[in-house]
Structures are given as C-alpha cells and as structure tokens.
Chains A and B, each alone.
Chain A
Amino acid sequence: MLRVKNISYQTSGKVILENVSAEFLPGRLNLIIGPNGAGKSTLIKVICNQLKPTRGDIFYSQKNLSEIGIEELAKKRSVLSQNVELAFPLMVREVVMMGRYPHFTGKPAARDEAAVEEAMRFFDVSHLSERNCLTLSGGEKQRVQFARVLSQIWYPYQDETRFLILDEPLTFLDVHYQFDFMHKVIHLLSSQDIVVIGVVHDLNLAAKFGDHILLLLDGKVLSAGNRNKVLSAQNIQTAYHLEPIIHKQDDEMHIFFR
C-alpha cells in the first residue's frame, strides 16, 4: 500500500498541494484525474521523491519515504513519464536494460537479461530490440519506455510490494494502444503485490478502467472513491466547468459534453 498523509507543497509562496491525503492499494487500478493546474503532476513528483513536500508524509508499505534511500527506492518503484527523449542514439534493448540498472553492478545477470526479454515481449517490442531508439515512431518509443519501466520491477525486491507510477502514460498513444496498454496494466494487477498509480486526462478512460479514482482540484482532494462516487455530474461540473451528460448502461459508463 502507498499512503499519502496530509501532504502540502508550496513553492515561491504559491500553494500547489494543500493537505492531500490518499491511500493507494495493490491489486486495483488507482487513477488520479483533475483539470490542468490541479496539482496532479506535483503530487506524482512528491510521491516519487522528486520534490520534497513542505508538510506531510508518504509511506511506501509501512516505511516513510524520507527514510528510503534513492537506490533502494529504485529497486521497488518505477516511474513512467509522458515523454522520454533520448539525447543520443541507443539500441532498444539497451534502453530496456536500463530498467535493470538499479539491480546490478558491472554486467547484467541472467535474471536481468530474462526480465528484459520478457518485458519486451509483454509490450510487443521484441522485434525492435536491435533498432536505434531514435528512429522509432512515437508509439513505439512509448512502448519501449513501458518495457523499460516494467523490467525495473519485474521481480519483487525482497518480497516487498512493488510500485508502478504512471505520469500521463497515454498522451502519445492512439486509441488502439491506449486500450492495449490499459489492458496490460490490468493484467499486471493480477499479481497482488503491485500498487499501480496513474495520472490520466481522459475521463472516459478513467471511468472504464479506474477501480479507485482521486479527483484533484486546486491542490485539494475534491473526491476519492469508485467511479460512481467520483465521476458524478456535480463533481465534473465543479472541476471542469462543463455540464456533462453521463450515460450508464449495464457495467459501462460514458461521459459526454455538450
């Protein structure tokens, strides 16, 4: 479990996050949504140790983040950013192998090689393994990054819970790969020792795939819970200043705007 407790973050006198608390459990898809400037990215950065919160604590399992070393953290937590650009040409396989860097010094062990192979297979990039990463299409690049991030936490570290944090992972993907990726993430959740937290923009994707949704507005939690609770007409109107039409049928939920 990943727990955020009374987090506030301010910079240059501006309050970005204010008293945010949340719990992210393993085995379900935790999604963070909210309008631009709501503080989603900042919350992700605080959770990932990229920014130090002004107040409050973050707990990975039972351990306070401030007590976890950066190297140890990298062994059990991986982060996918929305747009990773390589500065120099590098082969796909070596990029995916970077995910294993926290786990070996010197040469990769057999299990590192195996993790790379399987992560590449999982994200359907095995055939690209000898290609130069800079020559790939946007979607291919993003899938290579998925494979890298997944290889980083392919095996549990000392039987601890693993954490996968996705910062707007779908931005550069077409609809086919958005769905494909979401299904793969859900497949990962079947192993119960992995906490997945993702930021998404598309409310319909959140409605379709999110098991637990956190809606942020102006640095505060507007609502948290399942989609029926969070994605109410009232909440959406408050957050986005648009009047939604919510269409529910059987188990499906669709949100339209006038």
Chain B
Amino acid sequence: MQNKKKQYLGTFPVLLIILIVVFLISMSYGAVNISLDEIFGAMKKWLGNSQDMTLNERIFINIRLPRAILCMIVGAALATGGVLMQALFRNPIVEPGLVGTSSGAAFGAALYFVLGTVLKFNAGEWTLPIAACLGGIFSTSMVFFLSGSRQTGKSSIVGLLLTGIAINALFMSGVGFLSYIARDPQARSITFWNLGTLSGASWHSVIIIGAATVLCILVALRYAKQLNALMMGEEEAQYLGINIRRLQFRVLLVNVIMIAVATAFTGVISFVGLIIPHFLRMINGSDNRYLIRNGALAGAVLLSLADLTARLLLRPAELPIGIVTSVIGVPVFIILLRRKNYFF
C-alpha cells in the first residue's frame, strides 16, 4: 500500500519536470532561435504590459508561447480522451476518435473548405473550428443514439464500438467525396487538416481549448472509479451500483467536448491518444485515477516533443504534426507491445 502510493506520487512530479524542460526547449528553438534570457525578458515586459518589444520578443509572445501552450493542452486532451475511451470500451486498441468524433470533425471541416463560400455560413476566424466541432458532436451523438436502440440486454459496449466503426467509415467516405468534388487548393486544405497542425495557435484558441480541456479532465477524474469497475465487465460494474448507460453517456460527453474542441482547432492528430495510456500502464498499472492524472501530463510532453520535431526538421518550413506523431508513435508502440511483462 505504502509502496504503491509512493509510486503513484512519483510518476507525477517526474512527468511535470520533464514537461517544464520540454516546454522551455520548445520555446527556444524554431524557425528563429530565442534565448532563455529573451524569453524571460519578454515575459517580464508582457506581464508589465510594456509595448516596446523586440521582434524576437514579439514572435515569442504572439506566436511561440500560445503555440507551446496549445500544444500541451491538446496533448493532454488527446491522451485523456484515449484513457477514457480505452477504459469505457475495455479495449486497449481504442483511440479517442473511435466513436466518430474525429471523422465527424474532419467531415465538418471538409464541408467548410468545399462549401463554405456557397453556404454563406461565416463566423470569421471561428468558422472552421465551429464547423469541425459541430461535425464531431453530430457524429458522436449519432453513434450514441443509434447504438442505444439495441436493447437486447447483451453488451451495449460492443454495440457502441461497432456503431462507432460504421459511422466513422460513413463520415470518412463523406470526406473522401468532398475531396473528390473539391477544386485542387480546397482538396489540399482537407488533406492538410487531416494531418493536423498547430500553426494556427492564437491566444483565443488557447483560452477556449484550455478551458474545455481543464474542465473535462476534472470531470473525468470523477468517473475514474466507475471506469475501474468497468474493467471487470458491465455486469460486475452494475452489481457495484453503476448505471452503465449513464456512465457511457457522461464519459462520451466529456470525451467529445474535449476531442471535438481540440480537433476543431488543430485538425486530426493521431496516435497520442492510443500510445500514452499504454505507456503509463506499463509503468504503473491501469488504475484510471492514476492514468487520467498522469496521462494529461504525458500527452502534453509527447505532443510538445512532436511539435518541436515538426518545426525543426524542415526549418524554416514545418511538417504536419500528425505525420510526426505517427512516425514516432508507431515504432515506439510496437517496441512497447513486444516487451515481455506487459499484458496489454
């Protein structure tokens, strides 16, 4: 018991220190290198509301700092979403987008790229995020309500999973159709969006995604215990007084808000949500209380590293971050799975 508690506490500060180091590195390096002195100088001026900043200081405050923060938040959201979905589906190969969220968001975004000008739906810089977010919420609700009609008393979670796969396929073919009928620049926008990018980071997006993510993680922690019980199966969880349908609804709601909002601003970023829960499980088991807390930090670290790589490899241009997460994620994932003493 003592031992376990110590281990649990141990992971959190270690990850926190790693995150701070990665954060500082990722702010220093990029198309323009900024020294730590300049970073602290800029911070001081910014907090003191001073107007006379150098170019580097401006780049730092208006571009790099919001991007670094957004990166951490999105990483935290994706990893927490992965933890929640894997626990809810009792399945280690589930990604947060599985229940249709990211394909729906991609469809919403594609709709905007192709038909945005025709439909005259315009909300300025918010149009794309709103379209993507609505798409994600719409597809996830479709999954939830379509799976709900299966009242056979059999596993409702399998129904949810299969409905999710079907709806995902539907919306991906919708995205395919829209790319097919799109003119070339629009089709390229769709492709880029599906690879994810953090280059659009602004303080507005940081505040919106940050608020949604922090709130959702706090709520998610409340369901950690019930998700633990679900590891034993739906029946067992019910015997412990858990209303499965209600739990599904609430966890999906938390997940869809977090993932749809994050995806809306950054596009589809794969693998973070899949790999982080596995990584943590290997260190310290699968207690969801531990996974959610540390998953958020580990996700932030991973995505910050991926963003740093994406910005540095082709300096001054940058790679889509989704490509980096996949290229790093896949081999790491396979190595982890091949380790002997890991069961999932």
- Within 8 Å by CB of B228, from A72, A74, A98, lies A98
Q: Please judge, given known A-B contacts A88-B344, A93-B4, A98-B229, whether A81 and B236 are in contact too, CB under 8 Å.
A: yes
Q: Please judge, given known A-B contacts A73-B241, A79-B239, whether A88 and B225 are in contact too, CB under 8 Å.
A: no
Tell me the count of chain B residues lying within 8 A, CB to CB, of chain A: 30
**Which residues of chain B come closer than 8 Å to A89, judged between CB atoms?**
281, 285-286, 343-344
Complex CA gap A93/B228 in Å reads 13
- Decide if A110 is an interface residue (CB 8 Å cutoff): no
Complex CA gap A135/B343 in Å reads 9
- Decide if B38 is an interface residue (CB 8 Å cutoff): no
**Which residues of chain A come closer than 8 Å to B35, judged between CB atoms?**
none
- Decide if A132 is an interface residue (CB 8 Å cutoff): yes
| Contact between chains at A102 and B3 (CB < 8 Å) | no
| Contact between chains at A88 and B1 (CB < 8 Å) | no
| Contact between chains at A84 and B233 (CB < 8 Å) | yes
- The closest CB in chain B to the CB of A113 belongs to B1
**Which residues of chain A come closer than 8 Å to B318, judged between CB atoms?**
none
Closest chain B CB from A79 CB (angstroms):
4
| Contact between chains at B240 and A152 (CB < 8 Å) | yes
- Which residues of chain A in 134-189 are interfacial with respect to chain B, using CB atoms and an 8 Å cutoff? 134-135, 152
- Decide if B173 is an interface residue (CB 8 Å cutoff): no
Complex CA gap A158/B100 in Å reads 45
- Within 8 Å by CB of B238, from A70, A99, A129, A152, lies A70
Complex CA gap A134/B4 in Å reads 17
- Decide if A109 is an interface residue (CB 8 Å cutoff): no
Complex CA gap A127/B287 in Å reads 20
**Which residues of chain A come closer than 8 Å to B86, judged between CB atoms?**
88
**Which residues of chain A come closer than 8 Å to B153, judged between CB atoms?**
50-51
**Which residues of chain A come closer than 8 Å to B233, judged between CB atoms?**
81, 84-85, 87
Q: Which of A72, A78, A90 has the most CB of B within 10 A?
A: A90
| Contact between chains at B286 and A74 (CB < 8 Å) | no
- The closest CB in chain B to the CB of A132 belongs to B285
- Count contacts between A and B, CB distance < 8 Å: 88
Q: Please judge, given known A-B contacts A70-B243, A91-B4, whether A86 and B232 are in contact too, CB under 8 Å.
A: yes
Closest chain A CB from B234 CB (angstroms):
10
- Decide if A94 is an interface residue (CB 8 Å cutoff): yes
Task: Encode contact with A along B236-265: 1 for CB under 8 Å, 0 otherwise.
Answer: 101111110000000000000000000000
Complex CA gap A61/B343 in Å reads 44
Interface secondary structure of B, over-half rule: loop
Complex CA gap A88/B1 in Å reads 20
Complex CA gap A134/B241 in Å reads 24
Task: Encode contact with B along A95-139: 1 for CB under 8 Å, 0 otherwise.
Answer: 100110110000000000000000000000000011010110000
Closest chain B CB from A192 CB (angstroms):
24
- Decide if A212 is an interface residue (CB 8 Å cutoff): no
- Which residues of chain B in 316-343 are interfacial with respect to chain A, using CB atoms and an 8 Å cutoff? 343
- Decide if B92 is an interface residue (CB 8 Å cutoff): yes
Task: Encode contact with A along B4-20: 1 for CB under 8 Å, 0 otherwise.
Answer: 10000000000000000
| Contact between chains at A87 and B90 (CB < 8 Å) | yes
Complex CA gap A99/B242 in Å reads 12
Complex CA gap A70/B3 in Å reads 35
| Contact between chains at B287 and A50 (CB < 8 Å) | no
Q: Please judge, given known A-B contacts A84-B233, A87-B231, whether A74 and B285 are in contact too, CB under 8 Å.
A: no
Closest chain A CB from B278 CB (angstroms):
10
| Contact between chains at B235 and A50 (CB < 8 Å) | yes
- The closest CB in chain B to the CB of A102 belongs to B241
| Contact between chains at B241 and A70 (CB < 8 Å) | yes
24 contacts between A and B (CB under 8 A): A48-B239, A50-B235, A74-B239, A74-B240, A77-B239, A84-B232, A84-B236, A85-B232, A87-B231, A87-B233, A89-B285, A89-B286, A90-B285, A95-B232, A98-B228, A98-B229, A98-B240, A101-B226, A101-B228, A101-B229, A101-B241, A130-B4, A134-B343, A135-B343
Taking beta carbons and an 8 Å cutoff, which residues of A are in contact with B? 48-51, 70-75, 77-79, 81, 84-91, 93-95, 98-99, 101-102, 129-130, 132, 134-135, 152
Taking beta carbons and an 8 Å cutoff, which residues of B are in contact with A? 1, 3-4, 86-87, 90-92, 153, 225-226, 228-229, 231-233, 235-236, 238-243, 281, 285-287, 343-344
